[in-house]
Amino acid sequence: MKLVVKKEGELLAYLYENLDMPKKKIKQYLTHGAIFVNNNRVKQYNYRIVPGMNILIDTDNKNKKELPFEILFEDEHIIVVNKPSGLLTIATTKEKEKTLYHIVREYLVSKDKKAKVFIVHRLDKDTSGIVVLAKDEKTKNMLQENWNEFVSLREYVAVVHGKLKKSSDRLIQKLSETKTNLVYVSKSADAKEAITNYKVVKETQNFSLVSIEIETGRKNQIRVAFQTLGNPIVGDKKYGDKSDKESRLYLHANRLKIYYPNIKKEILFETANPQEFKRIMGR
Domain boundaries, the chain: 1-59, 61-145, 150-283
Of the ranges 7-16, 93-102, 127-136, 240-249, the best mean pLDDT one: 127-136
Contact 256, 154 (CB under 8 A): yes
pLDDT at position 64: 58
Beta bridge partners of 74: 79
Across the chain, where does the E strand assignment appear? 2-4, 9-10, 35-37, 40-41, 48-49, 54-57, 71-74, 78-83, 118-119, 128-134, 151-161, 168-177, 183-185, 192-203, 207-214, 251-260, 265-270
For residue 96, count other CB atoms closer than 10 A to its CB.
9
Q: What is the mean pLDDT of the chain?
A: 91
pTM, to two decimals: 0.82
Backbone phi, psi, residue 64, to 5°: -70, 150
Backbone phi, psi, residue 71, to 5°: -95, 125
pLDDT at position 119: 95
Nearest to 254 by CA among 128, 97, 143, 74: 128
- Residues 6+ away with beta carbon under 8 Å from 162: 206, 207, 208, 230, 231
* 92-96, 152-156, 260-264: range with lowest mean pLDDT: 92-96
Contact 227, 218 (CB under 8 A): no
Per-residue pLDDT, averaged over 86-95, amounts to 81
Pick the more confident residue, 168 or 91. 168
Domain 61-145 and domain 150-283, same fold? Reply is yes
We find that the CATH architecture of domain 1-59 is Roll (3.10)
Q: Angle at the Cα of 84 (from 250 to 114), degrees rounded to 5?
A: 155
Residue 234, pLDDT > 60, answer yes
CATH 3.90.480.20 fits 61-145, yes or no: no
CATH 3.30.2350.10 fits 150-283, yes or no: yes
